[in-house]
Each structure stands twice: as C-alpha cells, then as structure tokens.
C-alpha cells in the first residue's frame, strides 16, 4: 500500500489506516479478543501501518487489545491514541477533562496499556471548553520533549482552535468526521489544514457503515449499538438517505468496485494528506477497505459523483443533541 505524509509533520503512514474502536466499543458487544487480534495482525500483513485507538474505547480495553496485538511489530507501525475525558468507577464518561495533570496521567497509563515507550500521535479527543487550548498544546509539547509522545493531534476542533494550538505546538493531524455524507469540513477546516500543513484523518469515512450499502430502513441494531440514538440512523432518515447509497452503488458498479471502496477512494482523491481510518470487525470487510487504495477515480468520475450527490439532501443530524454540543465548531 502507498504511504502518505500527514501534512508536513514528517509522519508517514499507510494511505488507509484502521480505526479500532468498533472492536471493543460502540457498535454492540466487543469482538472476541482472539478474533480482534487476528484482524489487527492481518491488517499489518496487508501493509496497514496506522492504527487508531483511545482510552475512551472500552474504556481502556481497546488500548490493551491494540498493545498486545501490535507488540510483535511495534517498531513498524504508527499508533494514535487520545486523551480528554474523565471516567467514573463504572467506566462511564463523567465529562471532558484536558487539564494538564490529566493529560500527563493519561499518557503514562496509555504507554503501559499499549506496551510501548512512546505514543506516535496523541490527540485531544474533544476540545475542552474549560481548559485553554494553549495549555493543552503546551502540555503535549512537554511530553514530546520528554520523549513520551512524537506528534500532537486534535479531534473535531474548529479552525481558530487549530490555529491557537498550532502556534504553541505544531499539530500533525486533525481527526474529524468526513465522508460523502458529512462534508462540513470542506467549508473551513480543510483550507485551514492545507494552509498550516496539517494532515487530516477522517473517522467514520463510510458513514458509520451506511455508505457500504449494507444498512437499510429495515436494519435493526444491537441494543448496545450507539447508532440507535443517532438521528441520521432513525428509520425515517435511513429511508430518505437510501437515494445516496443507491447512486453510490451505481457509480461503484461502473468502476467494478464496491460502494465502500468508492467512498474511501473519493476521500483519498480529495487531498494527498488525507488518511481515512475505516473500522471493521470482519476480515472480508478489512480486505475490501484496503483494496480501496487501488481504486483510481478520474476527474470525470469525481465530477460524476459531485453532480449526482448535489441533488441529494442527507437527512438527520450526525449526533444526538447532548453529543452535538461537544463538536460544535
């Protein structure tokens, strides 16, 4: 697989990474540890070198899984993890927390769980309104100077926050949602990143599974699947948004590819410093996603996609109201 550099950071990663959250959290019961380990190691065998996790996924379980799975070839991969929350005794999130002492504590704990002596990319998971971003960037800068962290990242941050953080400690990458059905970053975020030389790591590049075509208005989700509370996944919204998936499927058929592969190839075609991190629990989906790196979309293909989607309005908010407050720019 081709490599890409995240902005001008010098951090080289595979063109498609692996988002590991769903193996432990968010989409129903956690995947069997042996199966999850096999999937992560298969990704490495297929030249994926960029693996994304966070203390919040589990919490803690996903970092532990990734640390164990990647231990045999730790020096050959890039591991990204995140800080930014506090947790109660039952493991539930008890609020955002990016105070300097919390960032340091999370770094030390993550190093142990990941079985490593350095975190390649350390993201602030969500912007904490109670802590100046300069304090956050300054703390990570100190961790970089101490050799515990290599690069600093932000997630779901607005343009001004990115600029303020970058002035204290260069930001290597921003991780935010971006896909054919969530294109808000194009308005202000992508131009800011290009100007500053910051890479972009889209999460949910397949629309939390919807862009694969495997989800319809009749699909039911596991009781632990967070899509049950996402407005965009209401039955009415799924029915309304089917037109987008149908059109994507038509384009994919013309390219002799799958809908998921075209959705990922579209992201790769937007900028050379964009690295999507699709997640999956299934080996055949992993192979499908990796092969998207070989799908070449011509200028005509991209124009066709653009014109086709211009007439389709995506229905439903991407988060319920209580979570949307955390990502308002």
Among residues 25, 27, 57, 178, which one is catalytic?
57
Per DSSP bridges, beta strands 93-96 and 119-124 are unpaired
Coil, strand, or helix at residue 203?
strand
Helix 61-70 and helix 33-45: axis angle, to 10°? Answer: 50
- Report the alpha-carbon distance of residue 223 to residue 226 in Å, rounded: 8
CA distance 301 to 303: 5
Residue 123 bears catalytic tag: no
Cα–Cα dist 178/280, whole Å: 17
DSSP strands (E only) in the chain: 3-5, 12-14, 18-19, 50-52, 78-83, 85-87, 93-96, 119-124, 149-155, 171-177, 199-203
The helix/strand count (H/E) of the chain reads as 11, 11
| Alpha-carbon span 154 to 200, nearest angstrom | 10
Q: How far apart, in whole angstroms, are the C-alpha atoms of residue 36 and residue 172? A: 28
Question: How many of the other CB atoms lie within 10 Å of CB of 71?
Answer: 11
Residue 149, C-beta contacts closer than 8 angstroms, at least 6 positions apart? 107, 118, 119, 122, 140, 143
**Bridge partners (DSSP) listed for residue 52:** 19, 80
**177's tokens:** 């949602």
Q: How many CB atoms lie within 10 A of CB 324?
A: 12
Active site residues: 57
């Amino acid at each position: 697989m081709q490599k890409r550099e995240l902005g001008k950071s010098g951090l080289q990663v595979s063109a498609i990474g692996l988002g590991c959250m769903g193996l432990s959290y968010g989409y129903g019961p956690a995947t069997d540890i042996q199966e999850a380990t096999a999937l992560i190691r298969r990704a490495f065998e297929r030249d994926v070198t960029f693996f994304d996790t966070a203390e919040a996924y589990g919490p803690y379980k996903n970092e532990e899984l990734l640390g164990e799975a990647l231990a045999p070839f730790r020096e050959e991969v890039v591991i990204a993890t995140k800080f930014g929350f506090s947790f109660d005794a039952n493991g539930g999130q008890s609020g955002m927390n990016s105070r300097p002492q919390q960032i340091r504590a999370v770094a030390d704990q993550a190093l142990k769980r990941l079985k490593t002596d350095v975190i390649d990319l350390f993201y602030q998971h969500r912007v904490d309104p109670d802590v100046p971003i300069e304090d956050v960037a300054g703390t990570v800068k100190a961790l970089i100077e101490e050799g515990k962290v290599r690069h600093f990242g932000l997630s779901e941050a607005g343009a001004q926050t990115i600029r303020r953080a970058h002035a204290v400690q260069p930001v290597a990458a921003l991780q935010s949602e971006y896909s054919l059905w969530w294109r808000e970053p194009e308005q202000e975020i992508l131009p800011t990143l290009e100007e500053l030389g910051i890479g972009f790591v889209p999460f949910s590049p397949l629309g939390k599974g919807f862009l694969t075509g495997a989800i319809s208005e009749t699909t039911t989700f596991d009781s632990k699947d967070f899509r049950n509370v996402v407005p965009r996944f209401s039955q009415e919204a799924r029915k309304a948004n089917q037109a987008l998936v149908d059109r994507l499927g038509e384009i994919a058929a013309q390219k002799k590819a799958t809908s998921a592969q075209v959705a990922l190839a579209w992201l790769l075609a937007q900028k050379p410093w964009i690295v999507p991190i699709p997640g999956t629990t299934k080996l055949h989906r992993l192979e499908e996603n990796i092969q998207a790196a070989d799908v070449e979309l011509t200028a005509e293909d991209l124009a066709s996609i653009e014109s086709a989607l211009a007439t389709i309005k995506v229905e439903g908010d991407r988060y319920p109201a209580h979570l949307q407050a955390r990502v308002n720019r």
